[in-house]
Every structure is written in structure tokens, then in C-alpha cells.
């Protein structure tokens, strides 16, 4: 089998440059359950583990997504920009926290996967499991 002329993916092997958002580490503080049709509230922490300040200019976007194994199988996914109005960088060894809200549609209940990542080279992100319970 050949690659049919497609170029190799390079983002997985290319290291983010020093001071870029791709060097950040992402952690989630997340509830164990959420209600279908309700508001999912969670906390994202971006940590700079490097010796170089990470500039948030331009302010990066992120993607958040919920994947259910049963119908509907289409993921709930959206991309938004972080709020960088009050800060322009994250100092070495420091972190910043963002409170997030994701409205969940009236969807099937069950165990779901949740993913969050920055839309930058290196795509730092995190994922977890979420139990979605029926509305009402």
C-alpha cells in the first residue's frame, strides 16, 4: 500500500518553538457527571513548564469535544478563542486557569469521552471520561 501521494504528517514530530503556546501543558478539573441538555462547567489549567515565557499574542484558539459511543455518534465539537485580554504571557513555571462552559444538547446518556486542546503546533491537550445522565 502506498501513501497515494499524501505528504507525511509533521506536526506530531515537530517540536514547538521555545516561547510558543505549543510548549504549554494542559490539565482539566472536571465533574464526574453532567446532565444531557445542561451546562458542563469545568476548569482548564495551562502551565508553562519551560524556562521561557510563553506569549499569548496572538491569543490561541482551542477545541473542546464530547464523543458518545452510542447514537448520535457525531461528536459535539466547537472551536473558540481563549480570553487573553487580561494577560499577554505565562511566565516560566507559572500557570493560568480558565473557567469553561459547554452547553450539552439533549443527547443520549452514557459514558462519553471529552477532549480539549489548543489549536497550535504541538496541540497540547487533555482528555477525560464523562458520565452523561438523562435530562430531567
Query: Kind and range of the H or E element at 97?
Result: strand 95-103
Q: Are 108 and 9 in contact (CB under 8 A)?
A: no
Where helices occur in 34-111 by DSSP H, the ranges are none
Report how far residue 34's alpha carbon sits from residue 32's, in angstroms, rounded to the nearest whole number.
7
Report how far residue 34's alpha carbon sits from residue 1's, in angstroms, rounded to the nearest whole number.
44
Q: CB 100: neighbour CB atoms within 10 A?
A: 18
The length of the chain, given as a count of residues: 136
What residue has cell string 471520561? Answer: 129
According to the CATH classification, is domain 21-133 in 3.40.605.10?
A: no
pLDDT tier at 107, thresholds 50, 70, 90:
confident
What is the chain's Cα-based Rg?
A: 17
pLDDT tens digits along 4-54:
665 555 555 677 888 999 999 999 999 999 998 899 999 999 999 999 999
Report how far residue 88's alpha carbon sits from residue 54's, in angstroms, rounded to the nearest whole number.
9
For the chain, the helix, strand and coil percentages under 3-state DSSP, each to the nearest 5: 0, 45, 55
What is the average pLDDT value for the chain, to the nearest integer? 87
Cα torsion angle, 102, 107, 109, 110, sign: negative
- The whole-model pTM stands at 0.84
Q: Which three cell numbers stand for residue 37?
A: 441538555
pLDDT of the residue at 39: 93
Domain range annotation of the chain: 21-133
Amino acid at each position: 500500500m502506498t501513501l497515494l501521494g499524501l505528504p507525511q504528517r509533521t506536526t506530531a514530530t515537530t517540536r514547538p518553538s521555545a516561547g510558543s503556546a505549543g510548549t504549554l501543558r494542559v490539565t482539566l478539573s472536571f465533574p464526574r457527571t453532567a446532565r444531557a441538555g445542561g451546562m458542563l462547567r469545568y476548569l482548564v489549567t495551562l502551565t508553562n513548564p519551560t524556562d521561557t515565557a510563553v506569549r499569548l499574542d496572538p491569543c490561541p484558539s482551542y477545541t473542546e469535544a464530547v464523543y458518545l459511543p452510542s447514537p448520535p455518534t457525531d461528536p459535539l465539537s466547537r472551536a473558540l478563542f481563549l480570553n487573553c485580554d487580561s494577560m499577554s504571557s505565562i511566565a516560566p513555571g507559572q500557570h493560568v486557569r480558565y473557567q469553561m462552559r459547554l452547553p450539552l444538547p439533549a443527547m443520549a446518556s452514557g459514558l462519553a469521552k471529552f477532549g480539549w486542546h489548543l489549536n497550535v503546533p504541538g496541540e497540547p491537550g487533555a482528555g477525560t471520561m464523562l458520565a452523561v445522565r438523562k435530562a430531567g
